[in-house]
Amino acid sequence: MSKEQTYEVFRFIEYGTQCRQSLDCVQGFLLIDYLKEYPRVEKDCLFRWFRQLGHLLEQYQCCKKGRCYRYLNPYSVLVMDGNVFLLDLESPENEEALKNMQKRTVSSHFVRPIFERKTDTAVQIDLFCMGKIMQFILSYAEVYPALGRREEHLLRRVIQRCLGESVRNYESFAQLQKALPQVKEKRNKKGVRYRYIVFIGSFAALCIGSVLFISGKDEGTKKEEAVQKDIQEDVSEHMQESGTAQQRAEKKKDETQTDSMREEGQEDKIKEGEESLSSDEGERIVASLKEGLLLNTSAENQEVIVKGKELEAEILRCLAAAYEREEMLLEAAGAYARLCEIEEQPERVEMAGIKKMKLEAGAGQYAQAILTGEELLKKLEDSEEIEALIREYEKEGGKEHNEE
């Protein structure tokens, strides 16, 4: 039998629209251990957990200025006295739980597979995790009294909207809270309390795998292996498809934006690196890269590499433009040289190379500028502008040699 252990959890104190965070060391069970020891969960407790988790995620984002928690899973939720709490993942007290979160089975299911920097909000990322944890609890717990067909149907639709699988997905935690069932108490004529469930609207959804678990579970079987097997099969195909689709979409979007700017005569803006990141966006990207490394999965590592390269290129474009404006020509040439190495779009490689050639020629280094142009032609195969610059610099270099 598992014993209660001490973990460090978040406590939130609300002041109107503001929220303060504190930490507290408490004894309890991790959600996954609790359901192993106490699989029978009362229906009103189940709904209370769902509401508490949604509210905790909302409070966390309020305290962290919009940053997502992202790691909501059975190892990051503590159960104590019938209530649930979020673990502080940076606390040494929770190191063992963190190691379990890094297991491929856990991270591949409960963390959003691809972090869509430009389209996904922090709310959508945590709502995805919320849908997955609801899925897990419903498939693992023995709810009593049993969920009715109407209740199962409503919960399926709630989870579906959390996971982004519906036409009308949730965009805020307020929408989730409004859709979740509420437990109210009412007295009958004899003064005896009885409870009834009031459902608001037709919201949300659980994936097909969880429905099978709810409707066809066997009380005498061990559920953990079956759940984990279903988790892996359910998510792996979706991750591969979504990852490939996003890479294609981002590549196409970048190419479309470049072509559009060329048509509008804004090539100078691209060349000078004025497509800069805001400080908030930069911090968010860096935070996502660190989170990806924390998970230590192949998919997340590849995502860190891709996003890291994009971020490096964006920074170098800005640096190169700033160096030029401050007449730090040597540093600017170095930045453009690095851009020539890491840029993937031929147009951007050409732009960075031409800038470098002009800086070198401006410093009287015609031989170096010609060498740069020849290296670029090997990489690009064809560029009329670079070929023209090479011919020009060969003439200029010849003139200087004759004058000497």
Domain membership of residue 218 (yes or no) is no
Q: What average pLDDT does the chain have?
A: 76
- Tell whether 220 is covered by a domain: no
Cα four-point dihedral sign 376, 378, 380, 385:
positive
Domain boundary among 123, 155, 179: 179
- Among 179, 197, 220, the domain-final residue is 179
In a domain, 340, yes or no: yes
Domain range for 311: 297-401
Q: Which two tokens mark 33?
A: 């251990």
pLDDT per position as a tens digit, 189-229 = 444 444 433 333 333 333 334 433 344 444 444 444 444 45
- Give the end of a domain, one of 121, 151, 179: 179
Specify whether 174 is located in the same domain as 303: no
Query: Pairing state of beta strands 193-198 and 182-187?
Result: antiparallel
> Domain tally for the chain?
2
Pick the residue with more confidence: 31 or 344? 31
- Please report whether residue 111 resides in a domain: yes
Q: Looking at residue 145, which CATH number applies to its domain? A: 1.10.510.10
How many percent of the chain have pLDDT more than 90? 29
33 shares a domain with 166:
yes
Dump pLDDT digits (tens) for 135-174: 999 999 999 999 988 899 999 999 999 998 888 889 899 9
pLDDT in tens, 66-79: 888 988 999 999 99
Q: Which residues is 87 bridged to in the sheet?
A: 9
- Alpha carbon of residue 93 to chain centroid: 25
Looking at the fold, whether 33 and 174 belong to one and the same domain comes out as yes
Q: What is the pLDDT of residues 85-125, one digit of tens each?
A: 999 988 888 998 888 888 888 877 888 765 554 466 888 88
CATH of the domain at 396: 1.25.40.10
Burial status of residue 273 (CB atoms within 10 A of its CB: 0-12, 13-18, 19 or more): buried
8 Å CB contact between 178 and 43: no
Cα–Cα distance between 151 and 156 in angstroms, integer?
9
Cis peptide before 145 (omega within 30 of 0): yes
CA dihedral sign of residues 354, 355, 361, 365:
negative
The answer for residues whose C-beta is within 8 angstroms of residue 182's C-beta and 6 or more apart is 47, 197, 198, 199, 200
Identify whether 373 is part of a domain: yes
Assigned domain for 216 exists: no
| 157 and 28, same domain (yes or no) | yes
Are 138 and 10 contained in the same domain?
Answer: yes
Running DSSP on this structure, what letter comes out for residue 122?
A: H
The verdict on 161 and 20 lying in the same domain is: yes
For residue 48, being part of any structural domain is answered with: yes
> Does residue 165 share a domain with residue 18?
yes
- Which pTM does this prediction carry? 0.50
Structure tokens at 89: 């993942």
- 336 in any annotated domain: yes
